[in-house]
């Protein structure tokens, strides 16, 4: 990746854009954003648990996907939107910490297709452990094409 910078305005836009709808429901926060890199966090509550009191796999999957999406957003042109084509996620250990941290990195930046590596860490008593690891395939779509898709639903 060539050296690049995210302008203040663009950063502020992506910060706002990140936090809405389901992401607000879940409570994920965007911590930092650099070209091709995003970091997010979550304060874990009972609202995120599964039947055995671990963090639900769906919470980590959502975090890995969404954070990867904004890592991708940070490297495409301003008139592009990002859609997730697919992802795969491995759950490596039960997440029992009080906080989750996600770090996503674009590993391939193609014309339309981007691929990101996205890792979720469980933090307890200040110690981070890798809890989940994902590979995410994303597509950059011009805003107009997206609107068309919305009405057509392919």
Residue ranges binding a copy of itself (CB under 8 A): 17-18, 20-26, 46-59, 61-63, 65-66, 81, 83-94, 96, 107-108, 110, 112-113, 115, 117, 122, 124, 129-130, 133-135, 137, 139, 146, 149-150, 153-154
Q: For the chain, how big is the Rg over CA atoms in Å?
A: 16
DSSP helix/strand/coil, 154: coil
- Compute the least distance from the CB of residue 7 to a copy of itself, in Å: 19
DSSP helix/strand/coil, 78: coil
Chain centroid offset of residue 22 CA: 12
Cβ proximity to a copy of itself: between 17 and 34 the closer is 17
Cβ proximity to a copy of itself: between 32 and 112 the closer is 112
Cβ proximity to a copy of itself: between 9 and 153 the closer is 153
- Compute the least distance from the CB of residue 68 to a copy of itself, in Å: 10
- Compute the least distance from the CB of residue 38 to a copy of itself, in Å: 14
| DSSP letters for 119-145 | EEEEEETTEEEEEEEEEEEEEEEEHHH
In this structure, are residues 65 and 118 in contact, taking their beta carbons and an 8 Å threshold?
A: yes
Task: Compute the Cα dihedral for 42, 46, 47, 48 and give only its sign.
Answer: positive
- Compute the least distance from the CB of residue 152 to a copy of itself, in Å: 9
Cβ proximity to a copy of itself: between 48 and 103 the closer is 48
């Amino acid at each position: 990746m060539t050296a690049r910078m995210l302008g203040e305005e663009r950063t502020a836009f992506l910060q706002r854009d990140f936090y809405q709808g389901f992401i607000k429901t879940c409570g994920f926060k965007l911590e930092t954003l650099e070209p091709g890199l995003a970091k997010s966090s979550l304060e874990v509550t009972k609202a995120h648990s599964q039947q055995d009191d671990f963090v639900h796999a769906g919470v980590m999957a959502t975090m890995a996907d969404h954070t990867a999406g904004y890592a991708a957003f940070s490297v495409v042109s301003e008139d592009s939107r990002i859609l997730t084509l697919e992802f795969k996620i491995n759950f490596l250990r039960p997440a029992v910490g009080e906080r989750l941290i996600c770090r996503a990195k674009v590993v391939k930046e193609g014309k339309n297709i981007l691929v990101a590596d996205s890792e979720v860490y469980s933090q307890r008593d200040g110690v981070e452990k890798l809890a989940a690891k994902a590979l995410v395939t994303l597509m950059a779509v011009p805003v107009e094409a997206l609107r068309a898709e919305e009405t057509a639903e392919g």
